[in-house]
Amino acid sequence: MSGSDPIRPYRLVLADGEVFEGEGIGADPNDGVASGEVVFNTVLSGYQEVITDPSYAGQIIAFTYPHIGNYGVNATDEEARRPFCRGVIVRDLARRHSSWRSEGDLDAFLRTHNVAGIAGVDTRRLTRHIRDFGAMPGAFGDTDAAALQAAAQSDPTTSGFDLVRLVSTDKPYTVGNAQRRIIAYDLGIKAAMLRQLSAMATVTVVPASTPAADVLAEGPDGVFLSNGPGDPQLAGSIVDELPKLIGRLPIFGICLGHQVLSLALGGSTFKMKFGHHGGNVPVMDLRSGKVEITSQNHNFAVETGSVPDVVETHVCLNDGALEGMFHKDLPVFSVQYHPEAGPGPHDSRYLFKDFERLMDTTGSAP
- Among all residues, which ones are annotated catalytic? 255, 338, 340
Q: Rounded to whole angstroms, how far apart are CA atoms 200 and 13?
A: 47
Q: Rounded to whole angstroms, how far apart are CA atoms 339 and 238?
A: 22
**What are the residues whose beta carbons fall under 8 Å from the beta carbon of 237, sequence distance 6 or more?**
208, 209, 211
CB 21 within 8 A of CB 148: no
3-class DSSP string for the chain: CCCCCCCCEEEEEECCCCEEEEEEEECCCHHHEEEEEEEEECCCCCHHHHHCCHHHCCEEEEECCCEECCCCECHHHCCCCCCCCCEEECCEECCCCCCCCCCECHHHHHHHCCCEEEECCCHHHHHHHHHHHCCEEEEEECCCHHHHHHHHHHCCCCCCCCCHHHHCCCCCEEECCCCCEEEEEECCCCHHHHHHHHCCCEEEEEECCCCHHHHHHHCCCEEEECCCCCCHHHCCCHHHHHHHCECCECEEEECHHHHHHHHHCCCCEEEEEEEEEEEEEEEEECCCCCEEEEEEEEEEEECCCCCCCEEEEEEECCCCCEEEEEECCCCEEEECCECCCCCCCCCCCHHHHHHHHHHHCCCCCC
CB 283 within 8 A of CB 337: yes
Q: Rounded to whole angstroms, how far apart are CA atoms 338 and 206?
A: 20
